[in-house]
């Protein structure tokens, strides 16, 4: 067993059980205490046969270490930008081996909570709605590629999401918001002759509506869904002759937001997305 650092604030994960062979660097066994019998007439009854034979829970050491590090990060002990203790310090503080420490750190990295740089201590990163959504982006793209129904499900979610979002935008858009949306529409119109740029400005128009809501989660979800659709299903969207139709629909949506008419904005967005949904199809 590794020596315990005298000034380490953490509590060691291992229990002080004489037979250390019960453990290795990966497995931690939680032993439930056996209740002592009581002579009190109203004492709790002894465990039933089912409770008496319940399996002993087993967890890997790195999972226990992960939970403890997560608790310290959430408590603010390691704010964004700060560094976690070194691998050696973690090993000494929690009395675990290097494999358990590294697995716990890699798990934190996969969660997007820390950044690991070779030769340096892990650093806690700033969490944002956009970063959180991007954590699932690769999985979502894989789902779109492999699941036959996933594209239709995504289109349904997008329609529900954007119709609600445009209502909020129409209700609370300021003069500055409307001016910003007008610039996005003008840039979309200016890109009419350039297929790729027109598509980019199409996405930017929707991003601007998301920004008007003032909700960063709306912005992150809007950006992610449009990127997922754009990456896999752009050929049909770019079909010649469709650009003026999409531009006219965006103009109607803008007019509804500018006059603060949420019902009309929702109707205009619904019609726009119903037509656009037919352009996104899985290649034969």
C-alpha 97/C-alpha 190 separation (Å) is 61
pLDDT of residue 126: 86
Q: Count CB-CB contacts under 10 A for residue 95.
A: 19
- Indicate if the pLDDT at residue 260 is higher than 80: yes
C-alpha 275/C-alpha 18 separation (Å) is 71
Overall pTM surpassing 0.85 (yes/no): no
pLDDT tier at 20, thresholds 50, 70, 90? very low
Tokens encoding 97 = 């081996």
Given CA atoms 181, 182, 186, 189 in this order, what sign does their dihedral have? positive
C-alpha 69/C-alpha 53 separation (Å) is 32
pLDDT of residue 10: 60
- Indicate if the pLDDT at residue 248 is higher than 70: yes
CATH architecture group of domain 20-127: Orthogonal Bundle (1.10)
3-state secondary structure 32-91: CCCCCCCCCCCCCCCCCHHHHCCCCCEEEHHHHHHHHHHHHHHCCCCCCCCECCCHHHHH
Long-range contacts of the stretch 18-26 (C-beta < 8 A, 24+): 25/61, 25/96, 25/97, 25/98, 25/99, 25/100, 26/60, 26/61, 26/62, 26/99, 26/100
- Indicate if the pLDDT at residue 7 is higher than 60: no
- Burial degree of 96 (CB within 10 A; 0-12, 13-18, 19+): buried
Question: What contacts 259, CB < 8 A, 6 or more positions away?
Answer: none
Mean pLDDT of 68-92: 94
**Of 232, 56, 75, the residue nearest 151 (C-alpha):** 232
pLDDT tier at 16, thresholds 50, 70, 90? very low
pLDDT tier at 13, thresholds 50, 70, 90? low
Q: What are phi and psi of 18, to 5 degrees?
A: -55, -40
- Indicate if the pLDDT at residue 28 is higher than 70: no
- Indicate if the pLDDT at residue 55 is higher than 80: no
Q: What percent of the chain is modeled with pLDDT above 90?
A: 44
pLDDT of residue 149: 81
Domain covering 133-277 assigned CATH 1.20.120.530 in the classification: yes
More confident residue, 132 or 43: 132
What are the domain boundaries of the chain?
A: 20-127, 133-277
């Amino acid at each position: 067993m590794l020596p315990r650092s005298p000034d380490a604030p953490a509590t060691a994960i291992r229990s002080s059980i004489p037979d250390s062979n019960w453990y290795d660097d990966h497995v931690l066994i939680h032993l439930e205490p056996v209740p002592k019998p009581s002579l009190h007439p109203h004492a709790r009854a002894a465990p039933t046969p089912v409770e008496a034979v319940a399996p002993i829970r087993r967890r890997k050491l790195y999972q226990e270490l992960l939970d403890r590090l997560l608790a310290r990060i959430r408590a603010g002990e390691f704010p964004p930008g700060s560094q976690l203790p070194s691998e050696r310090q973690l090993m000494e503080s929690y009395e675990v081996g290097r494999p358990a420490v590294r697995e716990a750190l890699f798990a934190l990295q996969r969660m997007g909570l820390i950044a690991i740089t070779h030769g340096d201590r892990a650093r806690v990163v700033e969490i944002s709605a956009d970063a959180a959504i991007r954590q699932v982006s690769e999985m979502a793209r894989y789902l779109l590629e492999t699941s036959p129904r996933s594209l239709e499900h995504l289109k349904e979610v997008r329609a529900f999401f954007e119709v609600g979002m445009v209502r909020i935008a129409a209700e609370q858009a300021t003069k500055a918001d409307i001016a910003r949306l007008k610039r996005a529409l003008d840039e979309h119109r200016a890109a009419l002759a350039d297929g790729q740029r027109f598509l980019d400005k199409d996405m930017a128009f929707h991003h601007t509506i998301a920004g008007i809501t003032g909700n960063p989660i709306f912005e992150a979800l809007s950006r992610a869904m449009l990127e997922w659709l754009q990456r896999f299903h752009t050929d049909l969207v770019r079909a010649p002759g469709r650009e003026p139709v999409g531009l006219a629909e965006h103009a109607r949506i803008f007019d509804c937001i500018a006059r603060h008419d949420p019902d009309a904005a929702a109707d205009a967005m619904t019609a726009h997305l119903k037509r656009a949904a037919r352009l996104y199809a899985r290649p034969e």
